[in-house]
Amino acid sequence: MLQVQSGVSLKPFNTFGVAVTAQYFAEAHNDDDVREALAYAAEHQLPLTVIGGGSNLLLTGDVQGLVLRMATRGIRILREDCIQAIVEAEAGEPWHPFVLDTLAQGIKGLENLSLIPGTVGAAPMQNIGAYGVELKDVFHSLTALDRQTGELRDFTLEECAFGYRDSVFKHEIGRWLILRVRFALSRVERLHLEYGPVRQRLEAQGIKEPTARDVSRAICSIRSEKLPDPAVLGNAGSFFKNPLVAASLLQKIKRKHPGVVSYPQPDGQVKLAAGWLIEQAGWKGFREGDAGVHSLQSLVLVNYGDATGEQLLNLARRVQADIAERFAVDLEMEPNLY
């Protein structure tokens, strides 16, 4: 049965560590809890906010209504043969332990997505990606609850409309509650080592024929060196998406900044490293009060302790305005704002 509490601090439930309060708070441990939460919110005419690990959101004030934290658990292999495995996981499963669980069973494909915080259910929201692999590359299908009608719907890969840190769910926030996700994984190694630091790290370790678990370990060590641990320093990972711009804009920027970091895309656009732009603009290591730009990775905004969501948002807006003025590039925020 759903336990609804009132006046609950959300500080432990968002990786920025922003101290705000939920008017009502509950955890869903199964589908019945989810349906009960929906009914509770409808009956009391409360807005419902669904969260997982709170690692991709910025809470700009107290949250009115009911905050539902997905805490459902379960991982199962639905089908497998000697080549592939279809694995299903409940939305509340913590992402990184799920990755490790599949690798321990000899199931490959999620290794490049190691050590990403958060839950399985939130992964489709922005088509999580790292080190050359995105969720869409290993996605099979998912089941979501339509909060408007209460009906269940299965989504195929195409129906999720995954894009760069984007999906149909990001465009219809508040409509779909993702209950479980299925992954098309592999029993054979198909490694993606094209991201420079991964290959370099494996070579430095003397690993000539890496396994998926080697790749996972290498990525964990690279990430731990570079990214702030939210348990130590509040953050939500990259605060801005890497912008996709026209090749002509890149040429313009290059005239003034020959060192601009860019990656050509198949559609002719160019991906700019937003961290590079922010660093060039002098924001790396910037701090005002307890809100700051991380000193090692300028894409990451950090909370040194008591920054409010508003203060972090103001800092983000200042960075955006500065980058627009200097480079004529619009930076889009990655976390969802509440």
Candidates 17, 53, 109, 210: give the one binding ligand FAD (CB under 6 A).
53
We find the least distance from the C-beta atom of residue 45 to ligand NAP, in angstroms, to be 35
Identify which of 278, 274, 302 has the alpha carbon closest to the alpha carbon of residue 289.
302
- What CA dihedral angle connects 71, 99, 101 and 86, to 10 degrees? 90
> Any catalytic annotation for residue 165?
yes
Q: Which two tokens stand for residue 112?
A: 């490049």
Q: Which two tokens stand for residue 33?
A: 């809890």
Candidates 18, 37, 51, 333: give the one binding ligand FAD (CB under 6 A).
51
Say if CB 212 and CB 189 are below 8 A apart: yes
Return d(Cα 69, Cα 13) in angstroms, integer: 9
In 3-state terms, what secondary structure has residue 326?
Answer: helix
We find the least distance from the C-beta atom of residue 294 to ligand NAP, in angstroms, to be 10
The active-site residue, picked from 55, 69, 114, 165, is: 165
- β-strands 48-51, 176-186: how paired? unpaired
Those residues with Cβ within 8 angstroms of residue 201's Cβ, 6 or more apart along the chain or in another chain: 218, 221, 222
Say if CB 269 and CB 245 are below 8 A apart: yes
We find the least distance from the C-beta atom of residue 114 to ligand NAP, in angstroms, to be 10
Which residues between 79 and 118 bind ligand FAD (CB under 6 A)?
91, 116-118
User: What character string, x for contact with ligand FAD (CB under 6 A) and - otherwise, covers 136-175?
Assistant: -------------------------------------x--
274 contacts ligand FAD (rule: CB under 6 A): no
Give the binding site for ligand NAP (CB under 6 A). 129-131, 194-195, 197, 226-227, 237-238, 242, 263, 273, 275, 297, 299, 334
Give the binding site for ligand FAD (CB under 6 A). 15, 50-57, 70, 91, 116-119, 121-123, 125-126, 128-130, 173, 176-178, 227, 230, 235-237, 336
